Structures are given as C-alpha cells and as structure tokens.
Amino acid sequence: MRYGIFSDIHSNLEAFNVVLDAFSKEAIDSYLCLGDIVGYAANPKECIEKWQGLSCVTVIGNHEAAAVELLDTEYFNPVAKAAIFWTAEKLSKEDKQFLSSLKYVYQNEELILVHGTLDNPERFDYLFDIPLAIPTFNLMDRPLCFVGHSHVPGIFIQDNDKTGYLDKSSVKISKGKKYIINVGSVGQPRDGDPRAAYCIYDTDSHLIEIKRIEYNIKKTQQKITQAGLPTFLARRLAEGF
C-alpha cells in the first residue's frame, strides 16, 4: 500500500495542483488528508472540488471548523480571522455540509490522523517540540500518527522511554517504536522553504518520505491580492514563513 498524505492546502490551488500532479507519478493507492483544505488563499471552492475528487480519508482542520461555525473565531489572529470570514462567504451550503461532516480523529489498524494533537483534538493545539509531542505519544495505540497544523514538517520518534526529534525528510519505520509525522503544508509552508510539502508512506518498504515541490507562487499571490484578502497572506508565501 502506498499512501499519499497531505495537509494544510489553505485554498492554494496552484500548490495543490502541483502536488496532485506529483502524486499521480507515485503510484498512490489511497489518499489521506489532515485538514485545512480552506483558509488564507483565494480558491477554497476549487480546492474543495479537487479534494472531493480524490475520495480520501480526511480529518477536520481548525479553518474548516471555524468556517462552518464549529470553532470560535476568537481562537484566530486578525489576519486569519479575516480570511475565515471571507472563505465562509464563498462556500456553498453543500460545501459547508461536507466540511461539517469531517471527524477530528481517524484511525485504522496501523495509523492515526489528527490535525493538531490527540489530546483535546477539537482544541487544535500545536505540536512544535518534544514536550508537546509526549501527550500524543501517550495516547497512541498504533505506531504511526500523522499531523499537520504547524505547517512545519518533521518527525518525532519514541523508543520506550526516550523521545526524540528527527530533522530529516524521511524515516524507515522500525518495529517497537512510535512515530509522529508532521507532513508540512501544501499551500503555506512555514519552515523557511516556500515549496509545497507532501508525504508518501509505503507500507511494504516501511518508508515515510516528506517531499517538496515548487509551484507558481506569484499566481497565488496575485489571486490573494485581487480577492481583497490581507496582503500579508500573499507576501509570506514567497518566504515560507
């Protein structure tokens, strides 16, 4: 089985199209989405349509939750809040029904999906460092948990009582260890690398890879500006922060 895993598209159609094209060359058997399909950029409906075409397992992100009034917008900074209000106005009743139906956590026999953390997933906490990762590790009854939300790709590993962070883009899964994999962001990376991020998990080779790919940032920036969204949202894309 080869999984194509992605998160935090944030209405960035140009980035999403490039990632989908990359997935098409990877012999993907099943897709997994970690939420935040919408928010920030100017193509929420188009991204929802492409996401629906994948028929992928998806957990809800904080921007979906806010756009359909499942999460108070006081949670957000003023720029993010402005983008949420703009996005909500663009979504149809059907779009909102789809987004409202998403669960906070998904798991199968080998992996778990959540947008933020497993402890209080509806609160959408960030998982930035080892102390913040430990509560999620403690709740894991499967070896793998894939997360998004921070827009910073990375891999946390727990081996018995030792927990560490792997500053690499790939890892081979070892029996007896637990892994939390942040797959990064398709549409708004924040690790200083503006390229779109996505993940491949091959269950036969036990290999997880986080990959990066360039997309037309200027086009996305122009759309954000023309839509009347905060200019900061356009500017940050080129710098990957």
Cβ atoms of 166 and 157 closer than 8 Å: yes
Cα 203 from Cα 172, distance rounded (Å): 10
In this structure, what token pair is assigned to residue 10?
Answer: 């944030």
Q: Note the pLDDT of residue 55.
A: 87
* C-beta atoms surrounding 192 within 10 Å: 9
Closest CA to 167 of 148, 153, 185, 184: 153
* Tens of each residue's pLDDT in the chain, 241 residues: 999 999 999 999 999 999 999 999 999 999 999 999 999 999 999 999 999 999 899 999 999 999 999 999 988 999 999 999 999 999 999 999 999 999 999 999 999 999 999 999 999 999 999 999 999 999 999 999 999 999 999 999 999 889 999 888 999 999 999 999 999 999 999 999 999 999 999 999 999 999 999 999 999 999 999 999 999 999 999 999 8
Query: Could you tell me the CATH number of the domain that includes residue 142?
Result: 3.60.21.10
Token pair 């037309």 in the structure block, residue? 216
| 127-166 confidence digits (pLDDT tens) | 999 999 999 999 999 999 999 999 999 999 999 889 999 8
Of residues 182, 31, 199, the one with CA closest to residue 117: 182
Q: pTM of the full predicted structure?
A: 0.96
The one-letter code for the residue type at 159 is D
What does the angle CA 24 – CA 234 – CA 7 come to, to the nearest 5 degrees?
35
Domain count of the fold of the chain: 1
Pairwise CA distance, residues 11 & 153, whole Å: 19
Query: What is residue 73's DSSP assignment?
Result: G
Closest CA to 223 of 40, 41, 91, 39: 41
Sign of CA pseudo-dihedral 164, 199, 98, 11: positive
Q: What is the rounded distance in angstroms from the CA atom of residue 47 to the CA atom of residue 14?
A: 9
Q: Rounded CA gap, 13 and 8, in Å?
A: 12
* pLDDT for res 44: 97
Distance CA 149, CA 34 (A): 8
The whole domain housing 231 covers 2-239
